[in-house]
Amino acid sequence: MSGKSGHRAWGHIKKQRTKTASYQASFIGPDQRRHYAPHTFSARMNAEAWLVREKDLIESATRTGERWKPPSERVQERKAEVLLFGTYGKKVIDQRKLSPRTRIEYEAKWSALIEPTFGKVPVADMTPTAVRGWFSGLDQTKERRNSHAYGVLNMICNTAVKDGLLERNPCMITGAMNTKAKENVKIPTTAELHAIADKLGASENQGRFKALVVLAGWCGLRYGEVSELRRKDITPDCSVVTITRAVGHRGGECILGPTKTGETRSVTIPPHIRQDVKDHLASYVGKDSDALLFTPSRGGCHLNDRVFNKDVFQKAAKAVGREDLSAHDLRRFAGSKNAQVATLTENMARLGHKAVKASLLYQHSQSGRDAEIAADLSTQALRELGV
């Protein structure tokens, strides 16, 4: 009997004789009666998952001494108490293990874009048609935001399938979580980047931002990483910057944590900007090892990204004829310049992209290539600057 199709160590799965794939799952409960899933499953793996959850419930009841409830009884209880998607979705986000910054992003997308539409809809009534209607009604000019919101909804619906509340995930829009790369993005040239930095450096009030521009531009730091840099993160000879942390601000709250990928990286600073970093440390940074490299002029814990971009960077960029730039283009500049002198793996390592495998990162850090890349960047920059 043990070799017969459909028989397992625990529970039973039977493939139904239907045109489309359909599987019925059942098991013998503690009451020695056979209990069936409240619905059939379109995939065998979903039937397997249901049986695993049922076995866990039985074992939990045995450990705690609580009365075990058959699946049919629990279904009736759920019908008597309709579970709304608003209640369920919030609970899923609350229980999910997320970094503080990611949690704030999830909650923001939930409260602004998902809950207003689906909050009062029963979980069981979530359908592909409803999801398509919701997604098509979002502001199409905000593609990246919409993609993130769809990702949150997809995560919640996947959890509902695992919990046995939905037979299948209603999020079926192809490509909804993949945003298209922007076309014709114009990154600054080397001369323009240094012109912006020099413009800031010549200002009595904004001179401390010159080093921020060249560090972010030539080392590829994210804004949350560069604004959290401290004296201890720069080697005494200003040849290497180590990125271990990042900061963000949402709803007036300062969120300090690991980098976006959760990994630490050390990036060799190109020789042609090391003097700028040394001058900055001498003129603007406290002697304590924890002193921030870049402090806000109006108080607060860190430089505000929106304020820096609008009131500092974009004004300087406009002054050199590049009003189309934003502070985020500093990272694009880094990626573009790295690509001219480094391999894809080396470029991704400098930028801190998680796709780079740990073994490749180790080889990269031990081979000395990062120092060579930094030197090549300086050689190229000096040539482009006509120095």
Active site residues: 222, 260, 328, 331, 353, 362
CA distance linking residue 170 with residue 184, whole number of Å: 35
CA distance linking residue 349 with residue 363, whole number of Å: 11
Place of tokens 């090892």: 289
CA distance linking residue 255 with residue 253, whole number of Å: 6
Question: Which tokens sit at 37?
Answer: 């899933």
User: Are 150 and 135 contacting, i.e. CB atoms less than 8 angstroms apart?
Assistant: yes
Place of tokens 């509340």: 165
User: Are 349 and 261 contacting, i.e. CB atoms less than 8 angstroms apart?
Assistant: no
Partners of 14 in the β-ladder: 24
Taking the alpha carbons of 136, 139, 143, 144 in that order, is the dihedral positive or negative? negative
CA separation (Å) from 367 to 26, 362, 373, 385?
Answer: 58, 8, 11, 29
DSSP 309-345: IIIIIHHHHHHTT-TT--TTHHHHHHHHHHHHHS-HH
CA distance linking residue 65 with residue 374, whole number of Å: 65
Q: Which 3 state secondary structure label does DSSP give 134?
A: helix
Place of tokens 């500092």: 312
User: Which residue type is seen at 253?
Assistant: E
**65-75: buried (b, 16+ CB within 10 Å) or exposed (e) per residue?**
eeeeebbeeee
User: Which residue type is seen at 35?
Assistant: H
User: Are 165 and 123 contacting, i.e. CB atoms less than 8 angstroms apart?
Assistant: yes
User: Are 29 and 70 contacting, i.e. CB atoms less than 8 angstroms apart?
Assistant: yes
User: Which residue type is seen at 32?
Assistant: Q
